[in-house]
A and B are shown apart, each in its own frame.
Chain A
Amino acid sequence: MSEARLTLAELFSGFFKAGIIGFGGVLPVARRIIVDERRWLTQPQFNDLFALCQFMPGANIVNFAFAFGARHRGLAGAGATILGLLAAPMCIVMLLGGAYARWGGLPAARHALAGLAGAAAGLVLGTALRIATPIFGSLTNVLIALGVLALVLLLHLSLPFTMLIILPIALFCSWRRA
């Protein structure tokens, strides 16, 4: 990428803003700040870098912060983006965790938390269906997804073993269709 090198302060502030106002998913906010507001990347550049972060393991937006920061200022740049992205949310979430440990057992809090948990679980199902929708057209892909689901949910296979079994099959199927 050919854009001018950003300073550490710029990197920190951009990702700080994304972290602090990114409720329920930082991606849309980060995209708006980086592409629309500060014009650090064009939309295709953003998509390209984000595609890498999606297909590498780890939290997508955290990966993005690592890669983006490192491109501009190396190790220090990655430190600035990560600190910016995570410092405030981590403080907030730990304060909430403290409140939960202290008052989470009160009857009113228990009921509210049960409702919150029900909604959050539903959200994950909705997200899963959103991710799964594009693969409904391919029987092979549906079978692979169902295979993963069965291994994890019914056979309680651990994640490393699940990957060990499924990844070669998925790679083979994908390679044959290429």
Chain B
Amino acid sequence: MLAQLALLFGRLSLLAVGGVNSTVPQIAYDVVTLRHWLTPAQFVQLYAISNAAPGPNMMITTLIGAHMAGVAGGLVASLAMILPAGTLVVIVSKFWDRYRDARLRNIIQRALLPITAGLVLAAAGVLLRQADTGWQLGALSLVCAGLAWRTRVHPLWLLGGGLVLGLCLG
């Protein structure tokens, strides 16, 4: 299991263009559809817990690892997710300043923007499909999306509101 976790997240590490959220559809496919480690409901709930906890949003990998193989699983999944990308960034940052105004750098940056947008939209699609099992939850998601998009309200308020609303609806 530890080797599987290392392989899965190590592979995803270098594909996480524009952040960990880009890989959410792929993580969901790997751990829910393909391997049946988690149900769709469990996946989106673990994702939500990782959002409600402090720390970067890569904590979803820690949670999945820990869910599958305890503390060792959490550590292995996290390291697999951060080490390949981290090593790459350390190497590239040595050259980064030298190419500050390079045309190539601008071209790559501009090319990645719409890809990141598409990937995070897809992540939202996957999570919405798993989370919204009724119209009330769908409406809750849309309101949160609108507020997160257009206002500067702190995410914790939205998550807390969702939690309380879920309790009331149940």
For B96, the chain A residues whose CB sits under 8 A away are 48-49, 52
Q: Does any Cβ of B come within 8 Å of A41's Cβ? A: no
Least distance between A42 CB and chain B CB atoms (Å): 14
Q: Do B86 and A78 have beta carbons less than 8 Å apart?
A: yes
Q: Across the interface, which residues of A come within 8 angstroms of B24, CB to CB?
A: 124
Query: Which of chain B's residues 20-38 have a Cβ closer than 8 Å to chain A?
Result: 20-26, 29
Q: Are B89 and A117 in contact (CB under 8 A)?
A: no
Among A3-11, A32-40, A155-163, which stretch is in contact with chain B? Answer: A155-163
Q: Which of B71, B85, B164 contacts A57 (CB 8 A)?
A: B85
**Which residues does chain B contribute within 8 Å of A122, judged by CB atoms?**
128, 140-145, 148, 158, 162
Tell me whether A57 and B13 are in contact (CB under 8 A).
yes
Number of chain B residues whose Cβ lies closer than 8 Å to a Cβ of chain A: 110
A/B interface sample: 5 pairs, CB < 8 A: A110-B170, A112-B164, A113-B163, A149-B118, A170-B114
A116 to B166, Cβ gap below 8 A? yes
Q: Are B23 and A126 in contact (CB-based, < 8 A)? A: no
- The residues in B between 128 and 170 inclusive whose CB is less than 8 angstroms from any CB of A are 128, 130-133, 137-138, 140-149, 154-156, 158-159, 161-167, 169-170
Interface centre among B54, B87, B137 (most CB of A within 10 A): B54
9 residue pairs, one from A and one from B, having the closest CB atoms: A115-B166, A89-B55, A126-B148, A111-B170, A58-B85, A119-B162, A148-B118, A122-B144, A24-B155
User: Which of A70, A113, A130, A142 has the largest number of chain B CB atoms within 10 A?
Assistant: A113
In the bound complex, do residue A63 and residue B124 qualify as a contact, i.e. CB atoms below 8 Å apart? no
Contact present for B90 and A62 (CB under 8 Å):
no
Q: How far is the CA of A160 from the CA of B75 in the complex (A)?
A: 24
CA distance A66 to B17 in the complex (A): 17
User: Given A58-B13, A62-B86, A108-B167, does the pair A119, B67 have CB atoms closer than 8 Å?
Assistant: no
